[in-house]
Amino acid sequence: MTGAEDTVLAYWAACEAREWERLGTLLAEDVVYHLPQTRERITGRAAFLRFNRDYPDGWHLRVTRAVGAGSRAATWITCDYAGSSLAATSFFDLDEAGLIATVTEFWPEPYEPPPGRAHLTERY
């Protein structure tokens, strides 16, 4: 594993354990968290940690895949919440100190495929 990959795996482990102080040690002071689908941005370690502390509890996540190279990493996670499993893809950029400087996260909604391609695919 790369340093970036180790860092994002530690990030998700801290999130799942609700260990916000440990999560804070992985973040740059000026970390920026982007949620493009809702057009939200959170800037700064304190604000990001508060966002996570204040988020409604009851969710659990697992990392399906993590890859990293240099100062970048990406993850695919699955989050179980309120009887649903939601997939998310996150892109991380680390600063020169190896701290997470930016996170861009996508939470796509599942949808039914368009007609006409069922003979080419397998549904799961």
pLDDT tens figures, 6-34: 999 999 999 999 999 999 999 999 999 99
Give the C-alpha separation, 23 to 14, whole Å: 5
User: Considering the domain boundaries, does residue 59 fall inside one?
Assistant: yes
Q: What's the average model confidence in pLDDT over 119-123? A: 85
Distance from C-alpha of 26 to C-alpha of 11, rounded to nearest angstrom: 7
- How many structural domains does the chain have? 1
The Cα 34–Cα 58 span in angstroms is 23
Domain span including residue 55: 3-109
pLDDT, position 1: 56
Cα distance from N-terminal residue to C-terminal residue, the chain? 30
Q: What is the pTM (predicted TM-score) of this model?
A: 0.90
CATH code of the domain in which 30 resides: 3.10.450.50
Residue with tokens 């998700």: 12
Nearest partner of 17 among 69, 68, 62, judged by Cα: 62
Encode pLDDT of 43-84 as tens digits.
999 999 999 999 988 999 999 999 999 999 999 999 999 999
